[in-house]
Homo-oligomer: A and B are copies of this chain.
Amino acid sequence: MATVQSFKYALILISSIILNLFSANVFLRIRWEQSWTKMAATEAETVASISCSGHGRAFLDGLVVNGKPICECNACFAGPDCSDFLSDCVVDADSGDPTFLEPFWEQHAASSAIVMAGWHRMSYEFNDGSLISEELKTHIRRVHDIVGNAVTDGRFIIFGAGATQLLNAAVRAISPEGSSSPGKVVASTPYYPVYKEQTEFLNSKDYKFSGDTSLWKSSAIDSSSSQNFIEFVTSPNNPDGQLKKAVLRGPFVKTIHDLAYYWPHFTAIPAPADEDLTIFTLSKLTGHAGSRFGWAIIKDEAVYQRMLTYMSLSTYGVSRETQLRVLKLLKVVIEGKGREMYEFGYKTMKTRWDQLSKSVSLSKRFSIQDLEPHYCSFSGKVKKSSPAFAWLKCERQEDKHCYELLKAAHITGRDGSLFGAESRYVRLSMVRSQDNFDLLLQRIEKLVTE
């Protein structure tokens, strides 16, 4: 009996030792898997676990109080964990900050994180001497192929610090050199204000901002005038979401297609863009505006080479940290059937547009732009509107300064005059956090019923 007992004990003991050995093995394996990355991983997980009541977030590079990063609250929220609502605060509907996609990235935490070693890409150049990651370029082509919003076959691709840098690089690259009259940079009203501000600030000898496209229709056709034109075509348009085509035609006309919003969150995709020079930006694709990453797709090799020179002489290319991270983010975008992010984005933007439209339609005080449904080749159906911005018009005769009227109601929009339009218009951003949109809607509802 005692022997049987002993045998039983021995059996349990052996099992226990085996289990111990197994545990030790797993433990050691984890330790091995996690050598130099451990400290960074712990740090990142600790910061991510700080609770900010869903109305803010702590960041690894945020302000530190008593050795710990603190919550950075969404606008209109305050307190150590962002749980205090500031009821009479100002809603910022000015910035096109696309944080509406933040929840998507929270849901894809594991697949979108990256670890960067201290020695990662210290060189100025990649191994092939370029400033551009080949892997990332391949992934950008794949993203376009899945969505069907741009032809990339046989085209050159260049990276820039957001569309912002690429806009000027493109203007610089296609403007005439040493011509007696500088190239005329034009855009259709209402246009994105940066076209004008950037061109004027940089004050080049070779190009000059020259206002609304429609003023130049006849001059462009007249080949004897030899005037050079650079037309910005923004589709969907910022601020009003309309799909646009080039307006000017003529021997001295070149176009830059700014397709920042030509993604399924914001518009139907009727067909792949097949233009001479198109510009896209990560901020409107994945929502990572802070990454400062954009790309241009270029037909002509000479233009591509000139843009490369621009990048080389202005910043010596795009940061390698950014290129690595963008590669990881695009891998998530492509994952599965490559539709999940667009579905999330479209659903969010469409819901917001429906809510705002409904609210505005309750009175005749305001109106917003009318957007036609279009057939979308990506979704395979006719798609309703889901624009990034509302192009709001103050309809009452006396409300000439719509921006001021909204400001008095604690809403900051962007004055129509900056877009070359009347001050009766204001652009309202709908791409920020849900907190931000909810409050905007609430304020608009109040104004409408006043």
User: Could you tell me which A residues sit within 8 Å of B by CB distance?
Assistant: 2-3, 5-6, 9-10, 12-13, 16-17, 19-20, 23-24, 26-27, 30, 33-45, 48, 57, 59-64, 72-73, 95-99, 101-102, 105-106, 108-125, 127, 133-136, 160-162, 164-165, 168, 172, 194, 197-198, 201-206, 283, 287-293, 309-310, 313-325, 327, 329, 332
Contact = CB atoms under 8 A, between A and B. Distances in A.
B45 A34 contact: yes
A6 B205 CA distance: 96
B40 A113 contact: yes
27 contacts: A2-B3, A9-B13, A19-B20, A33-B41, A39-B110, A40-B110, A61-B136, A61-B323, A61-B327, A62-B127, A96-B124, A97-B123, A102-B122, A105-B119, A106-B118, A113-B118, A115-B116, A161-B314, A164-B315, A165-B315, A172-B202, A290-B320, A291-B319, A291-B321, A292-B316, A319-B321, A321-B325
A37 B115 contact: yes
Contacts of A48: 36, 117
Nearest to A95: B124
A33 B45 contact: yes
Counted per complex, copies of this chain come to 2
Main secondary structure of the interface of A (DSSP, over half): helix
A326 to B, nearest CB: 9
A324 B30 CA distance: 27
A34 B34 contact: yes
Contacts of A316: 161-162, 164, 292
Nearest to A309: B201
A292 B318 contact: yes
